[in-house]
Structure 1
Amino acid sequence: MCVEVWDGEKPVQWWTLVDAAVVAHQPHSVDPERYDIVLGAGVRAEGGDSALPATPHFELFAGTTAAAAAGAGRCSAVDGLFRPRVDPAPVALELIGCEPAEPLLAVLRRPGGAERDWACLLVLDRHGAVMASHNVGLAVTEARPSVLGGTLVDITLTDGGDDRPSPAARPVWAEWHQGPPTEPNLWAPYDAQGRAAWLDLATRAWRVPAPRPDRSGGEHHLDGRFVTDVPGLHCAIAEALLGPGRYFGREWNALKDCLGGGFGVVPPFTLTWHDSEIARRALADVVEDPEDGLSYFEDVVQLLERCGVTVVLRGAQQCAVLPVREASEP
């Protein structure tokens, strides 16, 4: 859920309630048309002014469907939102089988003195190309001989950071470990989280080798059989325009940037979207901009056409069904 704090004229703060669940509700003591609702949720401040307006009111939104775009309701007060919160305790990170070199050796020689030092963990494929990266602080809790033997060491870092990949990334990394994909639709068996992890790798991969010069014209064919969510839509568009494992945006604004040039393909060109009804139905209730009221599918088609792309929508044929790959435990 999202809570917008209004000052009477416009929203000035935004809060996200994570994993919100209704704990209790009852009619309001003064106005029986209203309710007092108790939610259990994680709270995340998204931005805006820090001070509470003198006479605030609160708009509530839930989800990304067309129905939610109109709002889930409003309320006159939110108790428990504006209070200091303790940051979660750091979660340690285990580095197994390290062969330390400088500057890591220097850190190990002065344990407890490296709280401000940082390192970048690089995830490599079998050819040595970087697939992903992760920044970590070098506050070392413990260093010991590795369970893998030899002269290797295992190192425990006090805090592994808060941008760790989700478990859904594990099978995707395993796929890419053999090298960037060369066959179409290898992203299709994954769920939305896995497809988002696929886009994470493609985002880095488009830079290496350097992006090819922009070309325009011609006809590109988008295989729409597996476009059942937003990440899948962007996987399919990139594959249609540039080939497997390539990048051409991961959400509406990034797609708009890519259409402006510098990513290998630039309008005008023709995009023939086969089985487009699959995406139209799957994304009918996904709304990016509540102001225009269009579904995500319609917004993307409109953006493409406005940027000079001729979009040809072909009807859906029978959709092939692929099994969803389950995410491994971390």
Structure 2
Amino acid sequence: MKYLLVREDDEGEDELWGRCANVEGLFVDPVPPPREVLTFRGCTPAGLLRDAVSRPGETTALLGNGYVQASDDTQVGWWELMDAVVLAHHPSRSDPSLVDVVVGAGVNGAEGGGFTPSEPSRFELFMGNSGSAGQCLRVDGLLAPRQAPAKIPMELIGCEPTERLLSALRRPRQWERDWAELWALDRTGQVMAHPAVGLGIGGARPSVLGGTLIDITLTDGGDDRPSPAARPVWESWYQGVPTVPNQWAPYSSQGRSEWLRLALHARKPRRPDRSGGVHHLEGRFVTDVPGLHCAMSEALAGPGGYFGWGMDAFRDCLCGGFGLTAPFTLIWHDADIARQAPADAVFASEGLLSYVEETVQVLEDVGVTVALA
């Protein structure tokens, strides 16, 4: 059995609901939100937005993924923007020193759909990892009501249900709004990951695997499922926590991000830290931000180790509790590969530093000696 269905009981203890041989629908891409056109009125552009509206003779520009934050004195709401593109821009009629910007994007209002700011309100745009892209007086179309995305079901194949799960199958409506975790096990029985899944049951039937096993349909497999691009990464980790360096290197950025997520799950409990010594970062494959953190984690925590999946998490790891603290020396081999990585894989920090430069600065700020080789 490769999967366990586990729910926290009333006392906060993990309770086994069933064992399953396989899962269909574990690896899915989320359904993208419909495309919309938003008009950002009276903007003071910064960062990526400023660059987009200042290009001579160009009206369109790709912004990427980000979010809009709207706030007043008492409330804050967030709307996620997917694959945002500047469609047009022109001086604002109310104040020619400001800019009106028309943006096309997929809009996910899950974190802001119920928020109606009072006047005056503040709107700020954040794009990628580059911080604020500017403030605006209002955003036409942002507060429109939106339907929640359709739920994507999941099939539990070859299940051995406990009495708890059998009871839920007899009274499915009792649990349709509740949640559990699906524990994915590697070949040694260790938990690789535990995404949340809904307990709404769409049906149960004798298993295609035969015997006394059953197959169960969950109406909502949750939003924490990995992408199909992550399947080869999971197959690698199924053999156990990696012990060979650079096994993450052949994967795409998406696969490398999933590698980091599995490394976080596999991380040992917080333990006493050591300091000192010389650590070597193998930079041959650092061609994107996830690759940088895969290589950094390997350099500081060994193959399959974890030392942050992004800049904020990396800073947290340097503060202690992850096995290593400053002072120590880091030799970054083939650092020029990261410096020359494609532009879309190296993000700016407040428009001043590349991601690589910021990483070096963060290390040096806590007392690490960095040598770029």
TM over 0.5: yes
Partner of 1:16: 80
Q: Per the alignment, do residues 179 and 84 of structure 1 end up closer, same or farther by CA in structure 2, a change over 3 Å counting?
A: same
Q: Does 1:133 align with 2:194?
A: yes
Whether the 8 Å contact between 2:197 and 2:221 is mirrored in structure 1 is yes
Partner of 1:326: none
Partner of 2:332: 273
Q: Per the alignment, do residues 21 and 241 of structure 1 end up closer, same or farther by CA in structure 2, a change over 3 Å counting?
A: closer
Whether the 8 Å contact between 1:20 and 1:42 is mirrored in structure 2 is no
Partner of 1:219: 278
Deviations 1:7-41 (A, max 9, x none): 7x9x965432213356x658689589766736252
1:42 Cα shift?
A: 2.2
Q: Does 1:44 align with 2:95?
A: no
Q: Does 1:191 align with 2:252?
A: yes
The residue type paired with residue 341 of structure 2 is: A
The residue type paired with residue 143 of structure 1 is: A
TM-score (norm 1): 0.81
The number of aligned residues is: 304
CA distance in 1, matches of 2:132, 2:174: 53
1:289 Cα shift?
A: 3.8
CA distance in 2, matches of 1:288, 1:48: 30
1:38-187 counterparts in 2 under 5 A? 39-44=104-109, 50-56=115-121, 58-60=123-125, 62-64=127-129, 71=133, 76-187=137-248
SS at match of 1:214: strand
Q: Does 1:294 align with 2:358?
A: no
CA distance in 1, matches of 2:339, 2:356: 6
CA distance in 2, matches of 1:306, 1:182: 31
Of stretches 292-301 and 164-173 in structure 1, the one that deviates more from structure 2 is: 292-301
Q: Per the alignment, do residues 48 and 84 of structure 1 end up closer, same or farther by CA in structure 2, a change over 3 Å counting?
A: closer
State the superposition RMSD in angstroms: 3.1
CA distance in 2, matches of 1:309, 1:49: 45
User: Given the alignment, which residue of 274, 288, 305 partners 1:229?
Assistant: 288
Of Structure 1 and Structure 2, the greater strand share is in 2
CA distance in 2, matches of 1:29, 1:99: 64
CA distance in 1, matches of 2:132, 2:252: 28
Q: Does 1:256 align with 2:336?
A: no
Q: Does 1:241 align with 2:306?
A: no
1:233 Cα shift?
A: 0.9
CA distance in 2, matches of 1:117, 1:6: 31
Deviations 1:93-147 (A, max 9, x none): 1111111123112212223332244332111111111101122222211100111
Whether the 8 Å contact between 1:283 and 1:296 is mirrored in structure 2 is no
SS at match of 2:274: coil
CA distance in 1, matches of 2:153, 2:110: 25
Whether the 8 Å contact between 2:67 and 2:81 is mirrored in structure 1 is yes
TM-score (norm 2): 0.72
CA distance in 2, matches of 1:169, 1:252: 22
Q: Per the alignment, do residues 122 and 41 of structure 1 end up closer, same or farther by CA in structure 2, a change over 3 Å counting?
A: same
1:89 Cα shift?
A: 2.7
SS at match of 1:237: helix
1:232 Cα shift?
A: 0.9
Deviations 1:271-311 (A, max 9, x none): 00001111123276744641x72221111111111111111
CA distance in 2, matches of 1:192, 1:232: 7
CA distance in 2, matches of 1:26, 1:283: 27
Q: Specify every segment of 5 or more residues in structure 2 that has no aligned partner in the other structure, as ranges.
A: 1-65
CA distance in 2, matches of 1:274, 1:29: 50
The residue type paired with residue 41 of structure 1 is: G
Q: Specify every segment of 5 or more residues in structure 1 that has no aligned partner in the other structure, as ranges.
A: 315-330
